[in-house]
Amino acid sequence: MTLCNVKHSAGLWRSSTQNSTSTQKLEVRRRTRYNIGMHTYIISDLHLTPERPRITKAFFSFLRDQAPLADQLYIIGDLFEFWIGEDAAELLGAAPVLDAMKAISRVTDCFFMPGNRDFLVRESFTERTGFTVLDDESIIDFYGVKTLLLHGDSLCTDDVAHQHFRQTMMTNREFCDGFLALDVPSRIEQAKQARIQSAQHKSEVSMGIMDVTEQAVLDAFTKYGVSQMIHGHTHRQNTHHYNVEGNVANRYVLGDWAETNSVMRIDASGIEITNQAI
């Protein structure tokens, strides 16, 4: 099978409105048969920054060696340590990353879901990178299993300060538009301040609060009517099993990229997460 065939046999089919960010407009068809070798990769929380060139190098290796063999690639948030708009990418040293993303998008169907660090990714990101931008909390059919895909911070409901930030800034279009309208130096300055505050916040709240709230997980399974959920954000790679109204439900959590990477591979037989030394 050629790479071209793999690309077009992807499990998630896009409707004619390819640039749409609305999940409702994504047409998900249930497939009953899958070709052997078809698989999807999901990664998150690389927190790329010029300060950690080894992680960027590891990402490039992944894009070169592994991603071209997959029919789909999803990056589900916090790819960047912070993101303040494409026009600042050059200055922040992110241009080679965007170029590498564009290259992989030519052979693999690629999707990007913003996290709490890169929530300012906009639709124009698709043009620059070839990655279709997805809404946080999207429903995707992975080889016949309806799955809730999310960055994960929306599940951390015990972290009141973060939920306030989510409500008033992250998901506030007016705030985001205003911020992106500032000149690049002002945006960099404000982002630095936000990072300092975030670091302070992390050192002040308990580890438990930084994790998901179990009730929020159960509520999400019920709200979306799914038995499978995949997220990152907490950096706590694991698989959790739940009993939701008498049925088994699974929550898969990706780790971050630091000493090792964290790569989820999904195919028709299931899900596995592997870690390679960086």
Return residues touching Mn ion (CB under 5 A). 78, 115-116, 233
Sheet holding 138-142, edge to edge: 138-142, 145-149, 228-231, 247-253, 238-244
Residue among 115, 99, 142, 130 nearest 11 (CA)? 142
Question: Which two structure tokens, joined as six digits, stand for 21?
Answer: 């960010």
Q: Please identify the residue of the shown chain whose CB is closest to the bound Mn ion.
A: 233
In the bound state with Mn ion, the residue whose beta carbon lies nearer, of 71 and 78, is 78
**Residue 133 CA from chain centroid, whole number:** 10
Most distant pair of Cα atoms in the chain: their distance: 54
In the bound state with Mn ion, the residue whose beta carbon lies nearer, of 44 and 250, is 44
In the bound state with Mn ion, the residue whose beta carbon lies nearer, of 83 and 131, is 83
In the bound state with Mn ion, the residue whose beta carbon lies nearer, of 78 and 137, is 78
Residue among 35, 27, 111, 109 nearest 72 (CA)? 109
Rounded distance between C-alpha atoms, residue 196 and residue 262, angstroms:
26
Nearest distance, CB of residue 4 and Mn ion, angstroms: 34
State the Cα angle at 240 between 236 and 241, rounded to 5°.
Answer: 175
In the bound state with Mn ion, the residue whose beta carbon lies nearer, of 78 and 159, is 78
CB 165 within 8 A of CB 52: no
In the bound state with Mn ion, the residue whose beta carbon lies nearer, of 56 and 116, is 116
- Give the HSE-up count for residue 63: Cα atoms under 13 Å, Cβ half-sphere: 22
Nearest distance, CB of residue 119 and Mn ion, angstroms: 9
Nearest distance, CB of residue 48 and Mn ion, angstroms: 13
Nearest distance, CB of residue 83 and Mn ion, angstroms: 12
Nearest distance, CB of residue 117 and Mn ion, angstroms: 6
Nearest distance, CB of residue 261 and Mn ion, angstroms: 16
State the Cα angle at 196 between 159 and 51, rounded to 5°.
Answer: 115
